[in-house]
Amino acid sequence: MAITVPRSEKKPKKPPWLKVKAPGSPDYMETRKIVKGLSLHTVCEEAHCPNIGECWAHSTATFMIMGDVCTRRCHFCSVKKGDPTSMPALDPLEPARVGAAVRKLGLKHVVVTSVDRDDLPDFGAAHWAQTVRAIKNQAPGCRIELLIGDMAGSREHLAVIMESGIDILNHNVETVPRLYRKVRPYSGYIRSLAILKWAKELDPSVMTKSGIMVGLGETTREVLQLQDDLRWANVDIMTIGQYLRPTGRQLPVKAFITPEEFELYKEEGLKRGFKFVESGPLVRSSYHAWKHTSDQPTY
């Protein structure tokens, strides 16, 4: 069902279902003004997300805290890479600025993510908690979703985040186990499953969520097995989207997955017990995040 990309094709032609409108609407420009005015980073920009025009036009963005330099070197990601021994200090005023942005945008659902900060003793757990409190202080009616890293497998530091009052804990496994050494050489599949399972154990009332990219060389059977693994960890929500090469420095696309195959993954996920499955070519982990819980409004 997938469209395999020939090895000799350096810049494969994207199929028609991957075309998006260029950003530039008035609402998009207003969102950009608020984000830039508060000196905030967004994963929308840093990861070259194709949905930035749509999401920013709806006055929503995925804020990226703790700077724009990451200590991991994942081979699919375009976020700047840094040495753990020379990372910049955290900005103590950043949580308040995120809270201000959420208030100014009038968000009812916010997604906050971060770079990995393996240089920090708590991997940024305290900064996460401060950001959640700042959002609650400035936008008390907003639902808070955090997209976190693996905290180097620390249940103790995960607990700090889980106790901050969040609504949704998101941690992406990103790809199937067989491809981890190629795609995420400094992370671990079992470690990521443990983070998701522990989150549910620490606070069963918090919804958990995870996502993957397809088109990296995985098989349909491997994706279905991964869905079983996530359900073993009691994950509530799953997102599945097409991997798109951000720049020439990242892994090439192996295949373009068809809309029909994405629909199959959605159907299989719902059969397995996920409460919501967002599956489609342009899906990213925060895409339409406000729809992933039943009591959230849709645009």
Q: Residue 297 has what pLDDT?
A: 39
How do beta strands 3-4 and 255-256 pair?
antiparallel
Whether residue 47 is contained in a domain is answered as yes
Q: Which of 290, 106, 114 is nearest to 209 (CA)?
A: 290
How many angstroms separate the CA atoms of 165 and 133, rounded? 8
pLDDT tens track, the chain, 299 positions? 577 766 666 667 788 877 766 555 566 666 667 766 776 766 555 455 555 555 545 545 678 899 888 898 888 787 788 888 889 999 999 999 999 988 988 888 888 999 999 999 999 999 999 999 999 999 998 999 999 999 999 999 999 999 999 999 999 999 999 999 999 988 999 999 999 999 999 999 999 999 999 999 999 999 999 999 999 999 999 999 999 888 888 899 999 999 999 999 999 999 999 999 999 998 887 666 556 565 543 33
Residue 245 forms part of a structural domain = yes
At 259 the pLDDT is: 95
Between the alpha carbon of residue 68 and those of residues 79, 87, 170, 279, 282, the distances in Å are: 7, 10, 19, 28, 23
Residue 128 lies in a domain: yes
298 belongs to a structural domain: no
Asked whether residue 297 is domain-assigned, the answer is: no
Q: Is residue 87 part of a domain?
A: yes
Does 248 reside within a domain?
yes
Contact present, 216 and 251 (Cβ < 8 Å): yes
CATH of the domain at 184: 3.20.20.70
> Structural domain of residue 23, as residue ranges?
3-291
Residue 299 placed within a domain: no
pLDDT at 60: 59
pLDDT at site 14: 82
Give the pLDDT score at 291.
61
- pTM for the whole thing? 0.86
Domain count, the chain: 1
